[in-house]
Chain A
Amino acid sequence: MNAEVAAASVAEAAPEKKEFWRWQENTVWDENKDWRDAKIITCGIDVGSVSSQAVLVCDGELYGYNSMRTGNNSPDSARNALQGIMDKIGMKLEDINYVVGTGYGRVNVPFAHKAITEIACHARGANYMGGNKVRTILDMGGQDCKAIHCDEKGKVTNFLMNDKCAAGTGRGMEVISDLMQIPIAELGPRSFDVDVEPEAVSSICVVFAKSEALGLLKAGYTKNKVIAAYCQAMAERVVSLLERIGVEEGFFITGGIAKNPGVVKRIERILGIKQVETKIDSQIAGALGAALFGYTLMQKQAKAA
Protein backbone atom coordinates (compact mmCIF):
# COMPACT_ATOMS: atom_id res chain seq x y z
CA MET A 1 0.00 0.00 0.00
CA ASN A 2 1.54 3.32 -0.96
CA ALA A 3 1.56 6.28 1.41
CA GLU A 4 -1.23 8.08 -0.43
CA VAL A 5 -3.59 5.09 -0.31
CA ALA A 6 -2.71 4.49 3.35
CA ALA A 7 -3.48 8.12 4.20
CA ALA A 8 -6.77 7.89 2.33
CA SER A 9 -7.73 4.75 4.28
CA VAL A 10 -6.99 6.45 7.58
CA ALA A 11 -9.03 9.45 6.49
CA GLU A 12 -11.96 7.17 5.60
CA ALA A 13 -11.75 5.32 8.90
CA ALA A 14 -11.58 8.45 11.07
CA PRO A 15 -14.98 9.85 12.05
CA GLU A 16 -15.71 13.24 10.53
CA LYS A 17 -15.04 15.97 13.08
CA LYS A 18 -17.97 18.35 13.23
CA GLU A 19 -16.97 21.99 13.13
CA PHE A 20 -19.53 23.57 15.42
CA TRP A 21 -17.79 26.94 15.25
CA ARG A 22 -18.20 27.18 11.47
CA TRP A 23 -20.48 30.08 10.64
CA GLN A 24 -22.42 30.53 7.43
CA GLU A 25 -20.41 31.89 4.52
CA ASN A 26 -22.60 33.65 1.99
CA THR A 27 -22.74 35.50 -1.29
CA VAL A 28 -25.56 37.96 -1.83
CA TRP A 29 -26.32 40.41 -4.61
CA ASP A 30 -29.26 42.46 -5.80
CA GLU A 31 -30.82 40.50 -8.65
CA ASN A 32 -33.10 43.39 -9.52
CA LYS A 33 -30.13 45.49 -10.60
CA ASP A 34 -27.48 45.04 -13.27
CA TRP A 35 -24.01 46.20 -12.33
CA ARG A 36 -23.36 46.99 -16.01
CA ASP A 37 -25.72 49.98 -15.69
CA ALA A 38 -23.54 51.60 -13.01
CA LYS A 39 -21.25 54.52 -13.84
CA ILE A 40 -18.89 53.95 -10.89
CA ILE A 41 -18.25 50.54 -9.36
CA THR A 42 -16.15 50.44 -6.20
CA CYS A 43 -15.12 47.54 -4.05
CA GLY A 44 -14.21 47.21 -0.39
CA ILE A 45 -12.18 44.25 0.78
CA ASP A 46 -12.06 43.61 4.51
CA VAL A 47 -9.45 40.99 5.37
CA GLY A 48 -10.08 40.29 9.02
CA SER A 49 -8.33 37.85 11.30
CA VAL A 50 -11.24 35.41 11.09
CA SER A 51 -13.43 36.45 8.14
CA SER A 52 -12.94 38.23 4.84
CA GLN A 53 -15.55 40.18 2.91
CA ALA A 54 -15.71 41.71 -0.53
CA VAL A 55 -18.44 44.31 -1.03
CA LEU A 56 -19.42 45.86 -4.36
CA VAL A 57 -20.97 49.31 -4.43
CA CYS A 58 -22.56 50.59 -7.64
CA ASP A 59 -22.96 54.38 -7.84
CA GLY A 60 -22.79 54.67 -4.06
CA GLU A 61 -25.38 51.94 -3.36
CA LEU A 62 -24.71 48.46 -1.99
CA TYR A 63 -24.94 45.95 -4.83
CA GLY A 64 -23.57 42.68 -3.45
CA TYR A 65 -21.06 40.96 -1.23
CA ASN A 66 -19.26 37.77 -0.42
CA SER A 67 -18.35 36.80 3.14
CA MET A 68 -16.04 33.89 3.86
CA ARG A 69 -13.48 32.60 6.32
CA THR A 70 -10.00 34.12 6.08
CA GLY A 71 -7.39 31.69 4.78
CA ASN A 72 -3.79 31.40 5.82
CA ASN A 73 -2.62 34.42 3.83
CA SER A 74 -4.17 37.81 3.23
CA PRO A 75 -3.64 38.20 -0.55
CA ASP A 76 -5.36 34.87 -1.29
CA SER A 77 -8.17 35.64 1.16
CA ALA A 78 -8.76 38.98 -0.56
CA ARG A 79 -8.71 37.39 -4.02
CA ASN A 80 -11.02 34.54 -3.01
CA ALA A 81 -13.51 36.86 -1.35
CA LEU A 82 -13.77 39.04 -4.45
CA GLN A 83 -13.69 36.14 -6.91
CA GLY A 84 -16.58 34.53 -5.03
CA ILE A 85 -18.95 37.34 -5.95
CA MET A 86 -17.43 38.24 -9.34
CA ASP A 87 -17.85 34.67 -10.66
CA LYS A 88 -21.53 34.68 -9.79
CA ILE A 89 -22.36 37.98 -11.46
CA GLY A 90 -20.01 37.73 -14.45
CA MET A 91 -17.76 40.59 -13.41
CA LYS A 92 -14.02 40.98 -13.94
CA LEU A 93 -11.51 42.93 -11.84
CA GLU A 94 -11.10 45.41 -14.72
CA ASP A 95 -14.79 46.33 -14.38
CA ILE A 96 -14.15 47.77 -10.90
CA ASN A 97 -13.06 51.40 -10.82
CA TYR A 98 -11.56 51.54 -7.35
CA VAL A 99 -10.67 49.03 -4.65
CA VAL A 100 -10.08 49.89 -0.99
CA GLY A 101 -8.55 47.39 1.40
CA THR A 102 -9.31 47.41 5.11
CA GLY A 103 -9.03 45.18 8.14
CA TYR A 104 -6.09 43.45 9.69
CA GLY A 105 -4.75 42.34 6.28
CA ARG A 106 -5.47 45.63 4.47
CA VAL A 107 -1.89 46.30 3.42
CA ASN A 108 -1.74 42.89 1.76
CA VAL A 109 -4.57 43.30 -0.72
CA PRO A 110 -2.57 43.22 -3.97
CA PHE A 111 -5.16 44.87 -6.20
CA ALA A 112 -6.23 47.62 -3.75
CA HIS A 113 -5.69 51.26 -4.72
CA LYS A 114 -5.74 52.40 -1.10
CA ALA A 115 -5.76 50.98 2.42
CA ILE A 116 -7.95 52.53 5.13
CA THR A 117 -8.18 51.40 8.74
CA GLU A 118 -11.14 49.28 9.78
CA ILE A 119 -12.06 51.88 12.41
CA ALA A 120 -12.88 54.52 9.79
CA CYS A 121 -14.50 51.93 7.51
CA HIS A 122 -16.76 50.47 10.21
CA ALA A 123 -17.96 53.95 11.12
CA ARG A 124 -18.72 54.72 7.47
CA GLY A 125 -20.39 51.34 6.94
CA ALA A 126 -22.50 51.69 10.10
CA ASN A 127 -23.58 55.16 8.95
CA TYR A 128 -24.86 53.62 5.70
CA MET A 129 -26.47 50.61 7.38
CA GLY A 130 -28.07 52.34 10.34
CA GLY A 131 -28.51 55.85 8.96
CA ASN A 132 -27.10 59.20 10.06
CA LYS A 133 -28.48 58.84 13.60
CA VAL A 134 -25.79 56.25 14.43
CA ARG A 135 -23.31 57.72 16.91
CA THR A 136 -21.82 54.84 18.91
CA ILE A 137 -20.54 51.73 17.17
CA LEU A 138 -19.38 48.54 18.75
CA ASP A 139 -17.45 46.34 16.37
CA MET A 140 -17.06 42.85 17.74
CA GLY A 141 -14.57 41.34 15.38
CA GLY A 142 -12.94 37.95 15.16
CA GLN A 143 -9.97 38.74 17.36
CA ASP A 144 -10.46 42.28 18.58
CA CYS A 145 -13.14 44.61 19.76
CA LYS A 146 -13.58 48.31 18.95
CA ALA A 147 -15.69 51.08 20.39
CA ILE A 148 -16.19 54.01 18.00
CA HIS A 149 -17.99 57.35 18.11
CA CYS A 150 -18.86 59.06 14.84
CA ASP A 151 -20.66 62.13 13.61
CA GLU A 152 -23.72 62.31 11.34
CA LYS A 153 -21.53 61.71 8.28
CA GLY A 154 -19.89 58.59 9.69
CA LYS A 155 -16.60 60.34 10.45
CA VAL A 156 -14.84 58.97 13.53
CA THR A 157 -14.69 61.35 16.50
CA ASN A 158 -13.41 58.96 19.18
CA PHE A 159 -12.28 55.36 19.18
CA LEU A 160 -10.53 52.71 21.14
CA MET A 161 -9.79 49.11 20.42
CA ASN A 162 -8.66 46.12 22.36
CA ASP A 163 -6.66 43.64 20.35
CA LYS A 164 -4.54 42.27 23.14
CA CYS A 165 -7.13 39.92 24.53
CA ALA A 166 -9.62 37.62 22.76
CA ALA A 167 -12.28 38.06 25.45
CA GLY A 168 -15.35 39.66 23.91
CA THR A 169 -14.51 38.56 20.38
CA GLY A 170 -15.87 36.17 17.80
CA ARG A 171 -13.00 33.77 18.33
CA GLY A 172 -13.97 33.43 21.99
CA MET A 173 -17.50 32.48 20.93
CA GLU A 174 -16.14 29.94 18.45
CA VAL A 175 -14.13 28.30 21.25
CA ILE A 176 -17.25 28.00 23.43
CA SER A 177 -19.26 26.67 20.48
CA ASP A 178 -16.74 23.87 19.95
CA LEU A 179 -16.50 23.16 23.66
CA MET A 180 -20.29 22.86 24.03
CA GLN A 181 -20.59 21.04 20.68
CA ILE A 182 -23.43 23.33 19.67
CA PRO A 183 -23.51 25.08 16.27
CA ILE A 184 -22.46 28.70 16.70
CA ALA A 185 -25.72 30.06 15.27
CA GLU A 186 -27.69 28.28 18.02
CA LEU A 187 -25.70 29.69 20.94
CA GLY A 188 -27.61 32.96 21.18
CA PRO A 189 -31.15 31.55 21.20
CA ARG A 190 -30.16 28.71 23.55
CA SER A 191 -28.63 31.16 26.04
CA PHE A 192 -32.16 32.38 26.82
CA ASP A 193 -33.46 28.87 27.44
CA VAL A 194 -32.60 28.95 31.15
CA ASP A 195 -34.80 29.11 34.25
CA VAL A 196 -32.66 31.66 36.05
CA GLU A 197 -30.10 33.94 34.46
CA PRO A 198 -26.71 32.76 35.80
CA GLU A 199 -23.82 34.94 36.97
CA ALA A 200 -21.30 35.74 34.25
CA VAL A 201 -18.23 33.51 34.11
CA SER A 202 -15.63 35.42 36.07
CA SER A 203 -12.65 34.96 33.76
CA ILE A 204 -12.19 37.50 31.01
CA CYS A 205 -9.49 35.43 29.32
CA VAL A 206 -10.85 32.98 26.72
CA VAL A 207 -8.45 30.25 27.85
CA PHE A 208 -9.52 30.53 31.49
CA ALA A 209 -13.17 31.05 30.54
CA LYS A 210 -12.99 27.71 28.73
CA SER A 211 -11.65 26.02 31.89
CA GLU A 212 -14.30 27.76 33.96
CA ALA A 213 -17.05 26.63 31.57
CA LEU A 214 -15.84 23.03 31.92
CA GLY A 215 -15.90 23.43 35.68
CA LEU A 216 -19.49 24.70 35.56
CA LEU A 217 -20.56 21.70 33.46
CA LYS A 218 -18.96 19.38 36.01
CA ALA A 219 -20.77 21.29 38.77
CA GLY A 220 -24.10 20.42 37.15
CA TYR A 221 -24.82 23.48 34.98
CA THR A 222 -26.74 22.68 31.79
CA LYS A 223 -25.06 23.61 28.52
CA ASN A 224 -27.59 26.39 28.03
CA LYS A 225 -26.76 27.84 31.43
CA VAL A 226 -23.04 27.79 30.69
CA ILE A 227 -23.66 29.52 27.36
CA ALA A 228 -25.80 32.13 29.14
CA ALA A 229 -22.99 32.73 31.65
CA TYR A 230 -20.48 33.15 28.84
CA CYS A 231 -22.74 35.48 26.82
CA GLN A 232 -23.25 37.60 29.94
CA ALA A 233 -19.48 37.76 30.54
CA MET A 234 -18.90 38.81 26.94
CA ALA A 235 -21.58 41.50 27.21
CA GLU A 236 -20.12 42.86 30.45
CA ARG A 237 -16.65 42.84 28.95
CA VAL A 238 -17.54 44.89 25.87
CA VAL A 239 -19.76 47.26 27.84
CA SER A 240 -16.78 48.15 30.04
CA LEU A 241 -14.88 48.97 26.85
CA LEU A 242 -17.78 51.08 25.56
CA GLU A 243 -18.10 52.97 28.82
CA ARG A 244 -14.58 54.24 28.46
CA ILE A 245 -15.64 56.40 25.50
CA GLY A 246 -19.29 56.75 26.59
CA VAL A 247 -22.41 55.49 24.88
CA GLU A 248 -24.76 57.80 23.00
CA GLU A 249 -28.19 57.08 21.49
CA GLY A 250 -27.92 55.68 18.00
CA PHE A 251 -26.07 52.57 19.12
CA PHE A 252 -25.03 50.13 16.44
CA ILE A 253 -23.21 46.79 16.55
CA THR A 254 -21.11 45.49 13.67
CA GLY A 255 -19.13 42.28 13.23
CA GLY A 256 -20.12 38.65 13.47
CA ILE A 257 -21.20 38.77 17.12
CA ALA A 258 -23.97 41.21 16.16
CA LYS A 259 -25.74 38.09 14.84
CA ASN A 260 -25.73 36.51 18.29
CA PRO A 261 -28.87 37.66 20.15
CA GLY A 262 -27.52 36.11 23.36
CA VAL A 263 -24.81 38.75 23.50
CA VAL A 264 -26.68 41.62 21.80
CA LYS A 265 -29.76 41.46 24.07
CA ARG A 266 -27.56 41.32 27.16
CA ILE A 267 -25.54 44.34 26.00
CA GLU A 268 -28.82 46.21 25.42
CA ARG A 269 -30.04 45.17 28.87
CA ILE A 270 -26.86 46.41 30.60
CA LEU A 271 -26.75 49.69 28.64
CA GLY A 272 -30.50 50.26 28.83
CA ILE A 273 -30.71 51.16 25.12
CA LYS A 274 -31.69 49.29 21.97
CA GLN A 275 -29.38 49.00 19.03
CA VAL A 276 -30.36 50.52 15.68
CA GLU A 277 -31.82 47.73 13.52
CA THR A 278 -30.65 46.97 10.00
CA LYS A 279 -31.49 44.39 7.35
CA ILE A 280 -27.92 44.35 6.04
CA ASP A 281 -25.47 41.68 7.26
CA SER A 282 -23.56 43.23 10.20
CA GLN A 283 -20.41 41.37 9.20
CA ILE A 284 -19.91 43.41 6.01
CA ALA A 285 -19.83 46.84 7.68
CA GLY A 286 -16.05 47.28 7.30
CA ALA A 287 -15.90 46.25 3.64
CA LEU A 288 -19.01 48.30 2.87
CA GLY A 289 -17.42 51.36 4.47
CA ALA A 290 -14.26 50.75 2.44
CA ALA A 291 -16.25 50.57 -0.80
CA LEU A 292 -18.08 53.79 0.12
CA PHE A 293 -14.75 55.51 0.80
CA GLY A 294 -13.69 54.36 -2.67
CA TYR A 295 -16.83 55.87 -4.16
CA THR A 296 -16.17 59.24 -2.46
CA LEU A 297 -12.57 59.21 -3.70
CA MET A 298 -13.74 58.48 -7.24
CA GLN A 299 -16.20 61.37 -7.07
CA LYS A 300 -13.44 63.70 -5.81
CA GLN A 301 -11.17 62.60 -8.66
CA ALA A 302 -13.93 63.21 -11.20
CA LYS A 303 -14.54 66.72 -9.83
CA ALA A 304 -10.83 67.52 -9.86
CA ALA A 305 -10.44 66.36 -13.50
Chain B
Amino acid sequence: MIANYGYKDGSGEYYISIDTDKCIDCTAARACLTACPKNMFEIITDDYDDEVAWVKKESTRTLAYSCAECKPAGGYTSLPCITACTPGAIKHSW
Protein backbone atom coordinates (compact mmCIF):
# COMPACT_ATOMS: atom_id res chain seq x y z
CA MET B 1 0.00 0.00 0.00
CA ILE B 2 1.17 3.52 -0.76
CA ALA B 3 0.20 5.75 2.13
CA ASN B 4 0.38 9.48 1.44
CA TYR B 5 0.53 11.76 4.46
CA GLY B 6 0.29 15.49 4.07
CA TYR B 7 -1.86 18.05 2.33
CA LYS B 8 -2.36 20.36 -0.58
CA ASP B 9 -3.04 24.01 -0.01
CA GLY B 10 -2.73 27.28 -1.91
CA SER B 11 1.07 27.16 -1.69
CA GLY B 12 1.57 23.66 -3.09
CA GLU B 13 1.43 19.90 -2.46
CA TYR B 14 3.27 18.45 0.49
CA TYR B 15 3.03 14.69 0.81
CA ILE B 16 5.34 12.09 2.30
CA SER B 17 4.60 8.71 0.70
CA ILE B 18 5.39 5.47 2.48
CA ASP B 19 5.31 2.22 0.52
CA THR B 20 4.16 -0.09 3.29
CA ASP B 21 5.02 -3.24 1.30
CA LYS B 22 8.68 -2.19 1.48
CA CYS B 23 8.29 -1.01 5.07
CA ILE B 24 6.79 -4.16 6.62
CA ASP B 25 10.03 -6.18 6.59
CA CYS B 26 12.30 -3.22 7.22
CA THR B 27 15.94 -4.05 6.53
CA ALA B 28 17.13 -0.70 7.88
CA ALA B 29 16.21 -1.40 11.52
CA ARG B 30 13.53 1.31 11.43
CA ALA B 31 16.21 3.94 10.85
CA CYS B 32 13.59 6.53 9.82
CA LEU B 33 12.55 6.89 13.47
CA THR B 34 15.89 8.32 14.50
CA ALA B 35 16.89 9.94 11.20
CA CYS B 36 14.13 12.54 11.25
CA PRO B 37 15.30 15.54 13.31
CA LYS B 38 11.65 16.42 14.00
CA ASN B 39 10.84 12.88 15.15
CA MET B 40 7.87 12.73 12.78
CA PHE B 41 7.84 8.99 12.12
CA GLU B 42 6.28 6.34 14.32
CA ILE B 43 5.65 2.59 14.00
CA ILE B 44 1.99 1.60 14.12
CA THR B 45 -0.09 -1.48 13.47
CA ASP B 46 -2.19 -0.58 10.43
CA ASP B 47 -5.72 -1.66 9.56
CA TYR B 48 -4.42 -4.88 8.02
CA ASP B 49 -2.40 -5.78 11.15
CA ASP B 50 0.97 -4.93 9.59
CA GLU B 51 3.60 -3.03 11.58
CA VAL B 52 4.59 -0.07 9.45
CA ALA B 53 5.88 3.47 9.77
CA TRP B 54 3.59 6.44 9.42
CA VAL B 55 3.86 10.17 9.81
CA LYS B 56 2.47 11.24 13.16
CA LYS B 57 -0.94 12.86 12.88
CA GLU B 58 0.22 16.10 14.49
CA SER B 59 2.91 16.47 11.82
CA THR B 60 0.82 15.86 8.70
CA ARG B 61 -0.53 19.41 8.52
CA THR B 62 2.81 21.13 8.96
CA LEU B 63 5.08 19.22 6.57
CA ALA B 64 6.05 22.27 4.49
CA TYR B 65 7.48 23.91 7.59
CA SER B 66 8.67 20.85 9.52
CA CYS B 67 10.66 19.42 6.58
CA ALA B 68 12.05 22.76 5.43
CA GLU B 69 15.28 22.55 7.40
CA CYS B 70 16.16 19.16 5.84
CA LYS B 71 15.71 20.46 2.29
CA PRO B 72 18.76 21.75 0.36
CA ALA B 73 18.26 25.31 1.66
CA GLY B 74 18.78 23.91 5.16
CA GLY B 75 22.19 22.57 4.25
CA TYR B 76 21.29 18.96 3.46
CA THR B 77 22.15 17.50 0.07
CA SER B 78 19.81 14.55 0.62
CA LEU B 79 16.87 14.13 2.94
CA PRO B 80 17.80 12.26 6.16
CA CYS B 81 14.61 10.15 6.17
CA ILE B 82 15.00 9.05 2.54
CA THR B 83 18.70 8.31 3.01
CA ALA B 84 18.05 6.28 6.16
CA CYS B 85 15.27 4.25 4.54
CA THR B 86 17.44 1.91 2.48
CA PRO B 87 14.47 -0.20 1.27
CA GLY B 88 13.33 2.97 -0.50
CA ALA B 89 9.90 3.16 1.08
CA ILE B 90 9.87 6.91 1.75
CA LYS B 91 9.37 9.64 -0.86
CA HIS B 92 8.63 13.35 -0.71
CA SER B 93 6.36 14.98 -3.27
CA TRP B 94 8.18 18.33 -3.20
Q: Tell me which of A117, A156, A160, A205 contacts B15 (CB under 8 A).
A: A160
Q: Check if A159 sits within 8 Å of B3, measured CB to CB.
A: yes
Residues of A within 8 A of B73 (CB): none
Q: Tell me which of A120, A157, A241 contacts B2 (CB under 8 A).
A: A157
Q: Closest residue of chain A to B4, judged by CB?
A: A160
B10 to chain A, nearest CB (A): 6
B-side interface residues, number (CB < 8 Å): 17
Q: Tell me which of B1, B9, B60, B61 contacts A159 (CB under 8 A).
A: B1
14 contacts across the A-B interface (CB closer than 8 A): A120-B47, A120-B48, A156-B1, A159-B3, A161-B4, A162-B8, A163-B7, A163-B61, A164-B60, A165-B7, A165-B9, A204-B9, A204-B10, A245-B4
Q: Check if A158 sits within 8 Å of B47, measured CB to CB.
A: no
Residues of B within 8 A of A204 (CB): 9-10
> Hey, which bits of chain A sit against chain B, CB under 8 A?
116-117, 119-120, 155-165, 204-205, 240-241, 244-245
Residues of A within 8 A of B2 (CB): 157-159, 245
Q: Closest residue of chain A to B63, judged by CB?
A: A164
- A120-B47, A244-B93, A245-B2 given; name 14 further pairs at CB < 8 Å: A155-B1, A155-B48, A156-B47, A158-B4, A160-B6, A163-B60, A163-B61, A164-B61, A165-B7, A204-B9, A205-B10, A240-B8, A241-B8, A245-B4
Interchain CA distance A119-B46 in the complex, whole Å? 11
Residues of A within 8 A of B60 (CB): 163-164
Tell yes or no: B42 within 8 A of A by CB: no
Residues of A within 8 A of B15 (CB): 160, 244
Residues of A within 8 A of B5 (CB): 160
Tell yes or no: B13 within 8 A of A by CB: yes
Residues of A within 8 A of B1 (CB): 155-159
Residues of B within 8 A of A162 (CB): 7-8
Q: Per-residue 0/1 for B42-66: is the Cβ within 8 Å of any A Cβ (1 yes, 0 no)?
A: 0000011000000000001100000
Residues of B within 8 A of A165 (CB): 7-9
Given A120-B47, A120-B48, A244-B15: A164 touches B7 (CB 8 Å cut-off): yes
Residues of A within 8 A of B13 (CB): 244
Residues of B within 8 A of A156 (CB): 1, 47
A152 to chain B, nearest CB (A): 15
Interchain CA distance A241-B3 in the complex, whole Å? 14
B52 to chain A, nearest CB (A): 12
Q: Which of A116, A156, A241 has the most chain B CB atoms inside 10 A of its CB?
A: A156
Interchain CA distance A162-B12 in the complex, whole Å? 12
Q: Check if A164 sits within 8 Å of B9, measured CB to CB.
A: yes
Given A116-B47, A244-B13: A159 touches B7 (CB 8 Å cut-off): no
Q: Which of B1, B9, B48 has the most chain A CB atoms inside 10 A of its CB?
A: B1
B55 to chain A, nearest CB (A): 12
Interchain CA distance A160-B93 in the complex, whole Å? 12
Q: Tell me which of B4, B47, B48, B61 contacts A244 (CB under 8 A).
A: B4
